[in-house]
Amino acid sequence: MRYHVVDRDLRGLPPREQWCPICKLQHGLAIFSGCNLSHCRHIQEKLNGISLKSVREFLTREEDSIVFSLIERAKYPYNAPVYDPSYLGFTFHNHSLIELFVRETEALQAKAGRYQNPEEVPFFPEDLILPLVPPYKYPQELHPVAASVNVSTTIWHMYFDRVLPQFTSKGNDGKYAQTAEADLICLQALSRRIHYGRFVAEVKFRAAPKDYITAIKAKDSDGLMRLLTSASQEEIVKRRVEEKAKVFGQDVTLDTKGETTSNHSKYKVDPMVVYSLYSDWVIPLTKLVEVEYLLHRLD
């Protein structure tokens, strides 16, 4: 794509005094030759709307959403009938309450345009209804193959079979609708974070395409996984979400003098459960999404 540098093309870019010398030189040349400014990474990120910094900021913010959603779900006991297909009988095609709740909610949210956003991936796409709202022009950052990269089924079974029993108490309080709603919020937060691996892979590929092209052409999944893995960075992320679970999950009270006191011995969700969630599932599944996306990035 060619960017002819006139005033309207500079809106949204950093002030000219913040440009590097190469930017300024290219800008001066572009006025006369119509050349492309996109060779400078500083301006390229602004033109593309995606950068490693913006991706990291998104993932860090999603940590908050995931931790808070787990804390909200932990307010209710396990509530087994929500997940038992026999609870509703055969009236709803042997679906459990949670499956019915997610299907119906996704269909309603699809009407409002939720799944026009490429960051959102539904669990039951076959049940979606066409949006009632006008389409929003989201930036087309991803290769079209992104639409076929989907690990929703794995996320579903991971959450209900492995994660949920670890942070909910045994029991039944009858608040099935609230429980299903809290489960859906957890599922959507996890899905959004994991499927954002497509954006992670795209920005890494753009930053160093030569590092990835050989492995992509060879269909070398293991080689791509090695390129994408940073053990030290992953450990930072796992420790950070553990700390967030401690901070967000404390019981905070005020003593008679109005001073804050916190109970550090008991948390609403065990911080180690959050650490393990990221270590065993969130990070590995995100990288699986990244690899699957990159394997078809040149298609």
Query: CB neighbours of 227 closer than 8 A, spacing ≥ 6?
Result: 204, 211, 212, 215
Cα 298 to Cα 294: distance, rounded to the nearest angstrom? 8
- DSSP letter at 140 equals -
Per-residue pLDDT tens for 177-215? Answer: 999 999 999 999 999 999 999 999 999 999 999 999 999
- If you average pLDDT over residues 166-185, what whole number do you get? 98
Map out the domains of the chain as residue ranges: 7-48, 52-295
Instruction: Return the residue matching tokens 């929500």.
Output: 82
- Please state the rounded mean pLDDT for residues 69-86: 97
Which of the pair, 258 or 285, is modelled with greater confidence?
285
Q: Tell me: pLDDT of 71 over 60.
A: yes
Assigned CATH topology for domain 52-295: Chorismate Mutase, subunit A (1.10.590)
pLDDT tens-digit readout, 14-54: 555 555 554 554 445 444 334 444 344 444 444 457 899 99
Amino acid identity for residue 184 in this structure: L
What phi and psi, each to the nearest 5 degrees, are found at residue 103?
Answer: -60, -50
Average pLDDT of every residue of the chain? 86
Give CA 24 to chain center in angstroms. Answer: 36
